[in-house]
Structures are given as structure tokens and as C-alpha cells.
Amino acid sequence: MKDKQQNDIKEWLAATGQAEGFDICAVTAADLPAIIGAGLDNYLQAGHHGDMGWMAETRNRRTTPTAMWDAARTAVIFGCNYGPDHDPMDNLTATSSANISVYARGRDYHDVLKGRLKQLAGRLAARTGWQVKIFVDTAPLMEKPLAAQAGLGWQGKHTNLVSRSYGSWLFLGTILTDGLLPHDLAASDSCGSCTACLDICPTDAFPAPYKLDARRCISYLTIEFAGIIPLNFRTAMGNRVFGCDDCLAVCPWNKFAESSHDLKLTAAKGRAMPPLLDMLSLDEESFKSLFSASPVKRTGYIRFMRNCLIAAGNAGDDKLIPVVKSYLLHYDPRLRASAVWALSCYLDGDALAPLHPAEERDIDVQAEWKAALNLAD
């Protein structure tokens, strides 16, 4: 295909993408340098992926797009601004509210972006006859390195993409195709000497700049991790019940960002900063109903309630005590254990002792009771 035709298609993609709701578009090769795969190997070998075993299982396909689809020649990366209309750090002071990450307050971005990409990819295939595949964070495609290679931004010291125009607030979607298009220039790292994102992390999840230990990350702990929240991270979680925005929110490049006007991605009613009392009063069906079109549904009822119980312990709000007590006999030991800890933040051993169920047999829950009641081994 001649250069002019290729450029015409590229310009058409950018314009059509904008009409579909994307804010930015860039093109790069459907290939990543070996250093990206080496970095992934170091991450996995260090165990920094925690319980996300699927990262290791898909390692070979994850290193470069052509390992997943050998016909791929071009990656078209689209960015969608989801910038908040407030400083997310202000949410941390509302201790009796459930702090849900900015990205998860609207409709599930996977569904929103995938719908738009399907339209774009279908029209691209019809126009060119090329094969196309779409991706929105649901396959072993390393979208952040691809986006940086395409010039949409660079991976900051917090490992997330940073854009000169949109700060830390970009959703990414990708079309891979077997057709060829002119490439954009890669973005240069513009973090400089700034360490704001590293310094703000409440759990010290960054062992070094550009390195994340997910096992210490509140986003991982509240979304991916299935067990009882480790004791050393509970107080640091504060009121965060799904994700964490701290390292994104403090990035100085956000001063150039604008709040999103995309109604599908802005906060839905009841999902911005809902009262913890309301969240802890949800049963499984009402949870599914409230979060049916939200990314929060992914973590499931049990993990979400576990997180809300930890937040209740941190809230310092006596009105939460009765609803927390109701979880002491819950069928899931993770919630019983979390409720014990939360109540221990309000009640001393003498007040807690009468609440201790004699029939408790779960080892982890027993350990929580022992700690709460200051019992010796």
C-alpha cells in the first residue's frame, strides 16, 4: 500500500476514534523489544505478581504481541480520558465512606471501550480487508509498553502510563492488525527527579523507581488478593475498599489533565463515595445489582465486604459497630476474621469477650480473636 494511502487510513482512524469517544490515538509496531520480556521475567522471578498466577502462565504470549498473534504487524493504541473532577486525595478524609477508585465509579471501562473498538475495527477491516483483533486489558497484551512505544505517554516511576496531556488518567484500548501503518515516535520519560508517586504510597509498594511489588499494593490487596488482608496493611488501607489512586493522583503532570466529560465513565449514582454503613448492609444480590455494570463486580461480594470491614475498623465511627457485629457469624471465615479486627479497633478485650463465639473452629479466625482478646499462646 502506498504511503499516502497508509497516512490516509491513519488519519481516518484518529478522526473516527475521536467520533467514537476516544481522546487520543497513536500507532506503533506490533512488537516489543526483548528488554520488556526481560523486565517481566524479573518481576515474576521476584514474586512481585503475588497470587496473580495467570501472569506467569501467559508469560510466553505476554512478552510481545506477535507471540500471541504471529500475523500482527501494527498496533493502533487508543486512549480515553477518565480524569476526575476533584482531587482523589480528598476522598481519604471521608473515613465513613467507601472509597472506590476513580476508574471504577462509572460503567466498566472494559465494556465501554470494547464496544467502541469493535465498531472501529469492523470499519477498518471493511475498508482495508485487513485482519483485526481488539484488546482492552483482558488478554496477555502489554498495553502500557505498547502505548509508550506509540508515543501516548511514558511509564512513570509508579509503572503506570503518564501523558503530557492527560496525566495519569487514560484508559487504553488496542487494535492489532496484519496491515501496515506509519508509526508514531515513542515518548521520552519526563519524570525527571520527581518521586511524588513513590513517596505517597501508603504501603511502600515500590521497591525502586519503575518497580512495583503488587503484594504490597492496595489495588492488588483489595481486588486481586483473595485471602484475609495481612495485619500490616490494614490501617494503611484507610477507607479504600476497591483500588487506590494515590500514586496516580499526586503526579505533577495531572495539572495539564482535564476532567472527563464521558458520561459512560463518570461516577454513577451510589458508586462514588457511598456510606460504609450502606455497603455493609448489602446482601449478595443487592451487591450484584448495585455493581452489575461496574468493575467492582469483578472482585466479588466476599472480597468487597472484607475490604469494607477493614475500612470500618479504620473509620472511627461508632455507628458502624452494630453492622460489623453482624459479620461475626458470617459463613465466610474471611469476613468473620475481618469483623473481629474491625471491632477490636473500637472495643477492648472485656467488651469483646462476650461476643466471642465458642463454636469458632477456623484457625485464622481463632488467631484474630486471640490477638483481639490479648490471649497468650
Per-residue pLDDT, 290: 93
Report the pLDDT averaged over residues 336-362: 95
Residue % of the chain over a pLDDT of 70: 99
pLDDT attached to residue 376: 45
Residue 54 has pLDDT above 80, yes or no: yes
List pLDDT tens digits, range 207-249.
999 999 999 999 999 999 999 999 999 999 999 999 999 999 9
* Residue 95 or residue 265, greater confidence: 95
pLDDT, averaged across the chain: 95
pLDDT value of residue 126? 97
Q: pLDDT tier at 261 (50, 70, 90 boundaries)?
A: confident
Average pLDDT over residues 265-273: 82
Q: Is 137 a catalytic residue?
A: yes
Choose the catalytic residue: 111, 137, 317, 362: 137
Can you give the pLDDT at residue 375? 62
pLDDT of residue 218: 98
Beta bridge partners of 81: 170
The predicted model scores a pTM of 0.95
Q: How confident is the model at residue 195 (pLDDT cuts 50, 70, 90)?
A: very high
